[in-house]
Amino acid sequence: AQTVTQSQPEMSVQEAETVTLSCTYDTSESDYYLFWYKQPPSRQMILVIRQEAYKQQNATENRFSVNFQKAAKSFSLKISDSQLGDAAMYFCAYRGGATNKLIFGTGTLLAVQP
């Protein structure tokens, strides 16, 4: 069965600095999708960024980018120029190629210090 591991329960970053959140996954599939979701205190889950495994190019969305290392099964999220509004729980998620089901990691709580 596929698993998603986020080994950093909490992280902290200074405003305007850069932070990287780690995520590793275990799968025997070659075709899959990876996601990062943000959950602020409002509890609403917001899609931050997605990556298709067959694409070598790392996805980027404004200040958010990923470092996708397929061989290492690693999918880290980099937040540049951190803002106070980035403070939230961040979840990494995996979707296999043959299913619509997303499997989530346990999350990383990011604090942004002014």
Partner 1 sequence: NAGVMQNPRHLVRRRGQEARLRCSPMKGHSHVYWYRQLPEEGLKFMVYLQKENIIDESGMPKERFSAEFPKEGPSILRIQQVVRGDSAAYFCASSERDSSNGYTFGSGTRLTVV
Is residue 62 classed as helix, strand or coil in its secondary structure? Answer: coil
Size of the site for partner 1 (CB under 8 A): 24
Q: Show contacts with partner 1 in window 44-83 (CB under 8 A).
A: 44-47, 50, 52
Distance CA 88, CA 80 (A): 15
Which of 13, 21, 25, 35 is close enough to bind partner 1 by CB under 8 A?
A: 35
Q: Rank residues 18 and 99 by Cβ distance to partner 1 and give the closer one.
A: 99
Using rule CB under 8 A, residue 7 touches partner 1: no
Our finding on whether 3 is near partner 1 (CB under 8 A) is: no
CA distances from 42 to 27, 36, 39, 70 (A): 32, 17, 7, 33
Residue 111 interacting with partner 1 (CB under 8 A): no
Q: Report the alpha-carbon distance of residue 73 to residue 48 in Å, rounded.
A: 19
Report the alpha-carbon angle 41-92-16, nearest 5.
Answer: 60
Chain positions contacting partner 1, by CB under 8 A? 6, 33, 35, 37, 42-47, 50, 52, 91, 93, 95, 99-107
